[in-house]
Amino acid sequence: MPPVAIDSIRAAQRLDSRGKPTVQVEVTTSDGIFTAIVPSGASKGDYEAIELRDADSEAFGGNGVLEAVQNVEEVIGPALISHRVDLTAGLKEIDDFMIQLDGTPDKSGLGANAILGVSMACARACAAARKVPLYEFIAREMGSDTRGYTMPVPFFNVLNGGVHSGNAMSFQEFMIAPTGAKSVTQGIQYAAEVYQELMSLLIEKFGKSSIGIGDEGGFAPPISQPSEALDLLMEAFQRSGHQGHFHIGIDPASSEFFKDDAYDLGFKASTSNVKTKGEMADLYHELIQRYPIALLEDPFAQDDWDAWVAFNQTCQVELVGDDLLATNLVRINKANEKKACNALLLKINQIGTVTEALAAANKAFELGWSVFVSHRSGESTDPFIADLAVGVGCGHLKSGAPCRGERVVKYNRLMDIEDSLIAQGQQCRYPGEHFRAAAMAPVHRG
């Protein structure tokens, strides 16, 4: 395969789904122009790689990314082009080079948003240089068998709370997962039908003002108790004809309401509702017993190790570390030593390069954990994580509600991939309720 070089790298300031600036990168090679747009989170953990934001309070309230854009065009781009990297060799050399060029442990030198934009665009350029789809390139970078693929079960955030909405609900996300579907396409159909039924249900119960949506496309009705949200989902399942076809995932994002070694479930209301760690654990166990919950993400704060460890000893569902792990190998190893969780939430912008994210996923698999690929609340119309989830073979992905272009584009891409694989006669499985074990299935990981 003849070598393919980078001809040019350009960057620009564009907007994410919350109307805040983000970085767009274009990499040009002899194969064409390859574009990527960087996501950004609202509920960010303290251990994430550092986005570079401008200090100009007169432009976007100080949230501009022109300095990061400048770093791409004047530092990273020229250095990479001078390095004469061969894109057919893969992404690792490119990402390693940028990490060394930045020279900081958290990418605060050049900005994780600058570095990640180049990494994502170069991943697409590398895939084109090898003449394979992006998901296949990612699978090869993972060291996976590409003779067959596992499609991810999509987890749709249909009820929002926490910092993603304006209601009094402390828990940030209530997700529905179509585990009873036979394909990702059918699963997306089921979820869209439940979503529409949920909308009608909310209008009946609370009026049309209740169907305003949060950052990730989920509804934010005037509720405050987790059981209220879960009861609404169960009724929507029944009314849509999909009872028994879904499991539920919850992301409390508890670091947002952890203070003074306790959890205040009334942090968005006028009165506090403080619970101890033990009381929070009891609440989660009660909910798991009452509802078809298959996944809990960040039920405790990012440094509340004792609570994580104690809960993991008795937790019967997937226990996912997001802020706890930050897609970071150091945090993953610490969590493994303490036996604090059994799954990794994979967010590429938490760590800042695609290569490091894949290394985190491989480490999680080595530990016998699950991997759950995730979007961010500040997203774009870039469908990158759909290919990422298929390439990693993780078995499940979350990208918000079946609503809003920046969310739907990921689900549409998944359906396109599934159709393409079937048309090519490639092995393509939908793991359903076995999404946790999907990464260990011989059809993909070999």
The secondary structure element, H or E, covering residue 345 is strand 343-346
Strand partners for 211: none
Report whether pLDDT(441) > 70. no
Catalytic status, residue 67? no
Would you state the structure tokens that stand for residue 333, as one six-digit string? 């190893």
pLDDT digits (tens, 9 = 90+) for 216-236: 999 999 999 999 999 999 999
Residue numbers belonging to the annotated binding site for substrate: 164, 173, 297, 322, 374-377, 398
Report whether pLDDT(182) > 70. yes
What pLDDT sits at residue 46? 84
Q: How far is CA 338 from CA 300, 311, 317, in A?
A: 15, 12, 18
* DSSP symbol at 219: B
Cβ atoms of 291 and 230 closer than 8 Å:
yes
What pLDDT sits at residue 42? 67
Strand partners for 428: 149
Going by C-beta distance under 8 Å and a sequence separation of 6 or more, which residues neighbour residue 419? 185
Catalytic residue among 347, 356, 410, 418: 347
Going by C-beta distance under 8 Å and a sequence separation of 6 or more, which residues neighbour residue 444? 139, 144, 145, 148, 149, 150, 393, 438
Going by C-beta distance under 8 Å and a sequence separation of 6 or more, which residues neighbour residue 202? 210, 211, 219, 221, 232
How many CB atoms neighbour CB 396 within 10 A? 30
C-alpha–C-alpha distance, residues 412 and 394, integer Å: 18
Considering only CA atoms, which of 303, 345, 299, 307 is closest in space to residue 46?
A: 303
How many CB atoms neighbour CB 221 within 10 A? 25
Catalytic residue among 193, 216, 318, 379: 216
pLDDT digits (tens, 9 = 90+) for 264-279: 999 988 788 999 999 9
pLDDT digits (tens, 9 = 90+) for 304-325: 999 999 999 999 999 999 999 9
Confidence at 425, pLDDT banded by 50, 70, 90: very high
Q: How far is CA 15 from CA 12, 172, 384, in A?
A: 10, 23, 17
Catalytic status, residue 356? no
Q: How far is CA 211 from the centre of its chain?
A: 24
What is the pairing mode between strands 6-15 and 21-29?
Answer: antiparallel
The residue with tokens 């490091």 is: 356
Report whether pLDDT(440) > 60. no
Would you state the structure tokens that stand for residue 100, as one six-digit string? 């060394």
What pLDDT sits at residue 438? 62
C-alpha–C-alpha distance, residues 412 and 404, integer Å: 12
The residue with tokens 């990794």 is: 344
Would you state the structure tokens that stand for residue 320, as one six-digit string? 């996912």
* DSSP symbol at 213: B
Q: What does pTM read for this prediction?
A: 0.96
Q: What are phi and psi of 155, to 5 degrees?
A: -105, 115
Report whether pLDDT(94) > 60. yes
Provide Rg for the chain, Cα atoms.
Answer: 21
Residue numbers belonging to the annotated binding site for Mg(2+): 251, 297, 322
* Mean pLDDT in residue range 165-191: 95
C-alpha–C-alpha distance, residues 159 and 249, integer Å: 11
What pLDDT sits at residue 351? 97
What pLDDT sits at residue 60? 95
Q: What are phi and psi of 154, to 5 degrees?
A: -80, 135
pLDDT digits (tens, 9 = 90+) for 284-302: 999 999 999 999 999 999 9
Going by C-beta distance under 8 Å and a sequence separation of 6 or more, which residues neighbour residue 271? none
Angle made by CA atoms 175, 182, 344, in degrees to the nearest 5:
40
Report whether pLDDT(444) > 70. no
Going by C-beta distance under 8 Å and a sequence separation of 6 or more, which residues neighbour residue 204? none
Considering only CA atoms, which of 155, 186, 137 is closest in space to residue 395?
A: 155
The secondary structure element, H or E, covering residue 23 is strand 21-29
Confidence at 439, pLDDT banded by 50, 70, 90: low
Residue of 360 and 437 predicted with greater confidence: 360
Q: What are phi and psi of 202, to 5 degrees?
A: -65, -40
Going by C-beta distance under 8 Å and a sequence separation of 6 or more, which residues neighbour residue 316? 288
**What's the residue count for the chain?**
446
C-alpha–C-alpha distance, residues 49 and 255, integer Å: 17
Q: How far is CA 232 from CA 200, 222, 237, in A?
A: 11, 12, 9
pLDDT digits (tens, 9 = 90+) for 13-56: 999 999 999 999 999 999 999 999 999 876 567 899 999 999 89
Would you state the structure tokens that stand for residue 212, as one six-digit string? 């305003």
* Mean pLDDT in residue range 380-407: 97
Q: Helices in 52-111 by DSSP H: which ranges?
A: 66-71, 77-83, 92-102
